[in-house]
Amino acid sequence: MLARLADILTGTRRRINPSVVLVLRRPHSTSLLHIVPETGDVECVKYTSPAFTHRGTTERSREQIGTVSLYDTKHDVDEFLKEISTRATKILSGHETLNAGSDSVLPIEQALRSAVSESLESRSGHSRKTGNQSFPIFLVHIDRPKPGQILTDDDLTSFPK
């Protein structure tokens, strides 16, 4: 609070670190997949709030990019997010623009869009991969107060690259 007041009085602005996250909204929780622009590391988090604000991270915009049918179990959701992260990191493996700050958000956004599209396309027609409930998938643009991972809590799990 005092830091914010000092920023207002001195006219300085904090550095904003943009990023994009994939959000899977479930009835009682939200699962989030974040590819850290500075490192390419993948973090996967479950939280209970429908809007994402944590430790100074703010949501700028949200766009629904699809709907997936899953069984509402931790295993199914984790498996789907791992599939998306694997596809997205494969797509990003040829990009040198990671580590370039805000310039690296667009390739991550495009990789997440493509990964979701490929995954949903591969699931259509395969009844064993679908579930009994449909969940919306969103791309959410965020501003982080500092570079790196969004969460460092105990509930954070990272998928290996």
Q: Please choose, from the candidates 69, 78, 72, 68, the residue with its C-alpha nearest in 3D space to the C-alpha of residue 28.
A: 72
Q: H-helix or E-strand containing 105?
A: helix 105-123
For the entire predicted model, the pTM comes to 0.78
The band of 13, judged by pLDDT with boundaries at 50, 70 and 90, is low
pLDDT tens per residue, range 31-83: 899 999 988 899 888 777 656 666 678 888 999 999 998 886 778 888 999 99
**Could you tell me the residue ranges of all domains in the chain?**
18-159
The band of 4, judged by pLDDT with boundaries at 50, 70 and 90, is low
Q: Mean pLDDT for the chain?
A: 79
Please say whether the dihedral angle defined by the alpha carbons of residues 18, 98, 34 and 92, taken in this order, is positive or negative: positive
Mean pLDDT of 76-99: 85
Determine the Cα–Cα distance for residues 114 and 139; give it in Å rounded to an integer.
Answer: 12
More confident residue, 75 or 107: 107
